[in-house]
Structure 1
Amino acid sequence: MSWIEWTWLILTFVCIILELLTAGIFFILFAVGTLLAFVVSFFSVSVMDQVVVFAAATLLCLLFLRPFVRRWLHLGRYGKDYTVPDYIEQNIGQEAPVTRAISENGTGQVRIGTEVWTARELNHRAVAVGTTVRVVRIEGVTAIVEVVAR
């Protein structure tokens, strides 16, 4: 095997490992493209033709195969029908201390786990530092919170 065949094979395994780490039905489609380019490389075609096969196969998989697989696994679009909540959705319902006071009709900061988030109170009320709040939803990079009644 030449260096290009080894390259396609290594890239295939790298994509498979990345898919296993992210589970987003994304890198596996690149693995399909690299695997097809690997197979084509045995037919003495130029490296440019192999790259074209890789690009075309990956693009077709992204456009047609990915939506089909996501529907089949009931993943849907962002925020709908997820079987496993994504990173941001996992923060909803979490309790967090206020680290910088939330001003009335303004923002402050809360610590969700180990991260500091910009926060806004759900009903546009002021919230003092040290108050415990619960994340109601996430809008962009801002956590919408409400005070936890204790």
Structure 2
Amino acid sequence: MKAKFVPFGAALSVVLGTVFFAYAETSNPVQIFVRPSVSCKASPDNPITGQTITWTATVAPPGDTSVYSFLWSGTDGLSGNVGVATKTYATTGQKSAQVKVTPKIAVPIGVDLSKTATCPPINVGEPPKPDLTASLSISGLAPTGNPNEYYVGIATLQGFVH
């Protein structure tokens, strides 16, 4: 694990893994800053065009998410600034998202406690095509047995054959 040393007033600060802490050579208390662990995902699992997709960020340690700021970015203009971003896609294909989470605390200059997560991509498909339906309407007189008389009708087919 690499350590990053950052000046912090008269003391020396160290960033080690996901925990940032400041070591003071005086009797002052040590300040500890935790870089959050962040993950994200989309739902539903098999979305279609025209359906609202919800991208959700999960932050650890868990707790009050109001102590973090969120910045979403992604495919087709996805954006947001809270823990959940929504998007309705008009086109099919693979969609992706990233979220940057930053604790809302004062930290020494030069220390960045933000963490960016890339969500697993989703594939947006086409909505299912409607089944084939048919209707027939007939107008005219009842048959009299005369071979010169006939029915007039209109047939309509709608939908798709799968």
TM-score (ref. length: structure 2): 0.23
Q: Which has the larger radius of gyration?
A: 2
More helix by share: 1
Structure (1/2) with the larger strand percentage: 2
The higher-RCO structure (CA 8 Å, 6+ apart) is 2
